[in-house]
């Protein structure tokens, strides 16, 4: 039985959603798999793909990003006007939240979902979605800052 890698999981999801597994999509998934614990700007991703495939249009790259998000392969975030994505960190549990280090950008998955805490405070309301991100300093950055002072 083959070992299931994150890249294999992503390819299986693409196939399940009816997308063709082109060499460009495989390359995109391979490149994005490096970003499970950090976000990358869609602009940087676009630059990488256009360098590898000079004839590839911006629209094709952005469409693939959108399709990958919809298929559950990528997680997306907006910081100001800049769209950023990262490879799905948990294909078994796609619904999860993150702690993001403000210094180095490292993303750590949080397994627990606190939505019940909020629904208890909103009787009569219907919640149709949520995203929870916590920000601060990771242990490594805390050590570095302490050592520098």
Assess contact for 75 and 88: CB atoms under 8 A. Answer: yes
pLDDT at position 2 is 42
The secondary structure of residue 137, as a DSSP letter, is -
User: Which residues belong to the annotated binding site?
Assistant: 95, 101, 104, 130, 138, 141
Give the whole-angstrom CA distance, residue 72 versus residue 51: 26
Residue 115's pLDDT is 81
Cα distances (angstroms) measured from residue 102 to each of 38, 77, 116, 132, 138:
11, 14, 27, 15, 8
Q: Within the chain, which residues score under 50 in pLDDT? A: 1-4
Nearest-Å Rg of the Cα atoms of the chain is 18
pLDDT at 91: 64
Tell me what the pLDDT averaged over the chain comes to: 86
Residues marked as binding for Zn(2+)? 101, 104, 138, 141
Q: What does the pLDDT read at residue 1?
A: 38
What domains can be seen in the chain, in order of their start residue? 6-87 (1.10.10.10), 97-148 (3.30.1490.190)
Q: Where are the alpha helices (DSSP H) in 53-111?
A: 58-71
């Amino acid at each position: 039985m083959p070992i299931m890698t994150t890249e294999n999981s992503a390819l299986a999801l693409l196939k399940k959603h009816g997308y063709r597994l082109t060499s460009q999509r495989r390359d995109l998934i391979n490149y994005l798999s490096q970003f499970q614990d950090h976000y990358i700007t869609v602009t940087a991703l676009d630059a990488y793909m256009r360098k590898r495939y000079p004839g590839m249009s911006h629209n094709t790259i952005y469409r693939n990003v959108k399709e990958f998000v919809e298929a559950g392969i990528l997680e997306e975030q907006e910081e100001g006007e800049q769209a950023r994505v990262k490879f799905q960190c948990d294909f078994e549990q796609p619904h999860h939240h993150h702690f993001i280090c403000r210094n180095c950008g490292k993303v750590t998955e949080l397994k627990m979902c606190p939505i019940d805490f909020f629904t208890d405070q909103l009787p009569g309301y219907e919640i149709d979605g949520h995203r929870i991100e916590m920000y601060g300093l990771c242990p490594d950055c805390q050590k570095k800052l302490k050592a520098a002072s």
